[in-house]
Amino acid sequence: MSKIGSKPIIVPSSVTVDVTDTTVTVKGSQGELSFRIPVGIKVEKKDNEIIVSRLNELKKTKSIHGLFRQLIGNAVVGVEKPWERTLEIVGTGYNARLQGEDLILKLGYSHPITFKKVPGIKYQVANNTKIIVSGIDKQLVGQIAYQIKILKKPDPYKGKGIKYLGEKLRIKPGKKAKVTVGAP
């Protein structure tokens, strides 16, 4: 039995969840998300809880049971308070700014990079070196944050580039002068 899949999802009073035979729709103050229920999964709403269960014991059904429960749980949290991912820009002359709803990045290339607005995602820039990606869909927020990050991966020698806030980088030592002991 899936440990994650068997946990009930507690629904706050500010969030409404509509369950039909084929879809689950989650509505909140920040927006609305809906999911198609896969074959073999049963979703029930009881009072302020949602229970996700399996209809059979097939390997495919077992593998998506916990996943689908977590997707609904993330949607319930996201429509109440948006998910956020913060990126940090490190490097001399590297910065970011907003132009309308698009993100303009200067990352040491000969030209600035324009990252277009994605529907359902909001960008914020703090101190020209921190980018906050937010939205109600956790998967989409993570995907967009990663796409921004790979525009300039951190350099392994100096650490210059875009990284997640709090991410620890392993910096390589680089070249060092050879010191020989006892050489004439």
- Is 107 or 2 the better-scoring residue by pLDDT? 107
The pair of structure tokens assigned to 32 is 């609305």
Based on the fold, state whether residues 90 and 129 are members of the same structural domain: yes
pLDDT digits (tens, 9 = 90+) for 70-84: 999 999 999 999 999
Place of tokens 């509505």: 27
| CATH number where 142 lies | 3.90.930.12
Based on the fold, state whether residues 67 and 112 are members of the same structural domain: no
The parent domain of residue 107 ranges over 83-164
Beta carbons of 103 and 96 less than 8 angstroms apart: yes
Domains held by the chain: number:
2
pLDDT digits (tens, 9 = 90+) for 141-154: 999 999 999 999 99
In the chain, DSSP assigns E strands to 9-10, 16-19, 23-27, 32-36, 41-46, 49-54, 83-90, 95-99, 102-106, 113-115, 121-126, 130-135, 161-164
Please, where are the H alpha helices in 20-137?
Answer: 59-80
pLDDT for the residue 184 = 59
pLDDT for the residue 3 = 83
Burial class (CB in 10 A: 0-12, 13-18, 19+), 173: exposed
Based on the fold, state whether residues 99 and 146 are members of the same structural domain: yes
Which of 41, 58, 80 marks a domain boundary?
80
pLDDT digits (tens, 9 = 90+) for 134-181: 999 999 999 999 999 999 999 998 889 999 999 998 988 877 755 556
